[in-house]
């Protein structure tokens, strides 16, 4: 999956918001109800590196793979950074993004979830 397709996939979730933060952070954030579930770095030298939250078990599994590392400043909360999304199997990447979205959505109050997605 290339970066453009992954950006479209992240934006396709119900009530997902895409916000571009410029200098100094230079990140493109995907969130639901104010809770971030994914982001891209938009400046060099890390342009289009992609970060998502994963389970503690997947964190250990993923950070043992080449091209995947703990996300800077977020690794302690089980966020990983994928250096090149084109090198990951598309189905697996979609599964990880979906889990991260559902985790963010699930952290909202029931009332807020119903307001956003009708759950």
Q: Which position has the higher pLDDT, 22 or 99?
A: 99
The string of pLDDT tens digits covering residues 22-60 is: 888 899 999 999 999 999 999 998 899 999 999 999 999
In a domain, 119, yes or no: no
In a domain, 67, yes or no: yes
In a domain, 17, yes or no: yes
In a domain, 118, yes or no: no
State the residue range of the domain holding 64: 3-113
Instruction: Please state the pTM of the whole predicted model.
Output: 0.92
In a domain, 32, yes or no: yes
As a whole number, mean pLDDT of residues 91-114 equals 96
Angle between helices 3-11 and 90-106 (to 10 degrees): 30
Please report which confidence band the pLDDT of residue 119 belongs to, taking 50, 70 and 90 as the band edges.
low
- Are the C-beta atoms of residues 84 and 67 closer than 8 Å to each other? yes
pLDDT over threshold 70, residue 71: yes
Q: What is the pLDDT of residue 76?
A: 74
Residue from 17, 52, 32, 56 nearest 108 by CA: 32
In a domain, 103, yes or no: yes
Q: Which residues, 6+ apart, have CB-to-CB distance to 98 below 8 Å?
A: none
In the block, tokens 């703990």 appear at: 70
pLDDT over threshold 70, residue 11: yes
What CATH number is attached to the domain comprising 64?
3.90.1150.30
Please count the structural domains in the chain: 1
In a domain, 102, yes or no: yes
In a domain, 54, yes or no: yes
- The mean predicted confidence, pLDDT, of the chain is 93
Burial class of 18 by CB neighbour count within 10 A (0 to 12, 13 to 18, 19+)? middle
């Amino acid at each position: 999956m290339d970066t453009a397709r992954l950006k479209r996939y992240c934006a396709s979730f119900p009530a997902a918001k895409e916000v571009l933060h410029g200098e100094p952070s230079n990140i493109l954030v995907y969130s639901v109800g104010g809770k971030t579930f994914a982001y891209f770095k938009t400046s060099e030298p890390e342009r289009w590196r992609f970060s998502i939250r994963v389970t503690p078990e997947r964190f250990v599994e993923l950070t043992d793979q080449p091209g995947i590392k703990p996300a800077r400043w977020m690794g302690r909360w089980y966020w990983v950074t994928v250096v090149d999304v084109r090198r990951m199997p598309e189905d697996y990447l979609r599964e990880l993004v979906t889990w991260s979205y559902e985790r963010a959505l699930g952290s909202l109050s029931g009332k807020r979830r119903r307001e956003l997605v009708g759950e």
